[in-house]
Structure 1
Amino acid sequence: MQSPLFTYGEQQSQERFAIQNPQLLRVALNGSDDVLARKGAMVAYQGMVDFDGEYQSPSQRRSRARTGEGLDLMRCSGQGTVFLANLAQHIHLVDVDRGGMTVDSSYVLALDSQLNTEVLAVDSEYGISGSGKYQLNITGQGKVALMTSGQPLMLPVTPESYVNVDSDAIVAWSTGLRVQMQAPTTSTSVRTRRGSTGEGWELSFLGQGFVLVQPSEVMPPQNASIGGGLRGQFGADGQNRNNAWN
């Protein structure tokens, strides 16, 4: 058999985490260090690899139920190679150090099992109930594979130059940054979009670090079904109501 498809063979690498192509992650398992991956993200594997659902402590389950933020993970262990992907999203590798990284859990594809995660709240400066935003804080030392809709933008934040980002487009930022949730331009319309502009809540970042933004305000819906209704528009059980993907 002959085909140009054979040019898309496996990319050999000595790295534990390697980008197979912009939308596909290759993870090498050596039998000792496990990898945590998004549930259902495996598209192929080679060798003797086991996949198990990752245990969530009672406090993690309560936090997930209260905030909606958290990771549904599976543990990949054994010896071999695992290929991970999710809805053909662009994949990017980040080395997390002692400074930590804060991320929207929707954009996490995989991470080293020794990293620690906890849910943090970003509150509205107006103190309006329900207008805060919860994010996932990742600490320790290891790699995280992030996903974006398209090629992202990395913006530096310095004491002399702060950055404002649409709260639906933010992917991740340095944990050490100070963050404020900003309402629309006029305080009389804090519960609505900015007039007819379609712009809404923003996150304002101050300090020293970075902010990662994707060129889309939402990801495609998870577990969507063909046809109308909530499952077609937002995925299973209407869980992606923030999405505007058509």
Structure 2
Amino acid sequence: MDALATLPVLTSASTRPACAFFDVDNTLIRGASGFHLAKELYRRRFFRRRDIAWFAGQAIAFFLRGEDVQRVAAVRSRALGVIRGRTEAEIVEIGEEVYEQVLDSRIFPGARALVSAHLEAGHQVWLVTATPREIGELMARRLGATGAVATVAETRDGVYTGELVGDLMHGSRKAEAVRQLAERAGADLKDCAAYGDSVNDLEMLQSVGFPCAINPEPHLRVHALEERWPVRDFRRRRSGLTSGAVVAGAGAGLWGLVVLVRRFARG
């Protein structure tokens, strides 16, 4: 079956420019890419058990009281502190290892087929993700995509400052990035497609002519069905709560640290 069969305008003979925009965590790959990077950073002693305990407390607070702007800011600040003073080259090297050892095998075959189909149709393919830029750009390069827009940690002279450039790439920032990328490509958003798994992707999905929910969490699934959007589930197994859901929900997707509680709290 044609991977783009649900997107007729993108398989037509039209020569109009078109773009496809993909979220990463739980859309392209199973789980949260930032978690696997954080796991390797922990193994290399970038942070300590007391950091894990603190992130555990924030995760519990999220589950009990929901997302809070101040809590998200605190988690983001502490996560950035983990890499403050480290070099960009060091993180890029670790990211390459994580991709080879873990991430490549976690890419959903169906999602990989969609990326390939868009590229073969001559479309620009962009990853639009809250994951760190170092991971987003690496995945885009390995998939042969046009590029990635992601969360950017500030560097000076190749060293991380512990601050962000702008804000996390999610919600309205994703929608704005998509608009800018389409404009740069000379494409009308009505001719573009977007793929996402959560309500954090909703504004991005609503901004294009051909939205598609991939492995959607419950709220997005309901919305997609109401709007009669295509829904694709590439997962072979399902659980009530994935690591990616915890990270995205807690607003800590930058480095995936909250999820480490599950693996290391007892270690």
Instruction: Give the alignment's TM-score, normalised by structure 1.
Output: 0.23
More helix by share: 2
Instruction: Give the alignment's TM-score, normalised by structure 2.
Output: 0.22
- Which fold has the larger relative contact order, with Cα–Cα distance below 8 Å and residues 6 or more apart in sequence? 2
Structure number with bigger Rg: 1
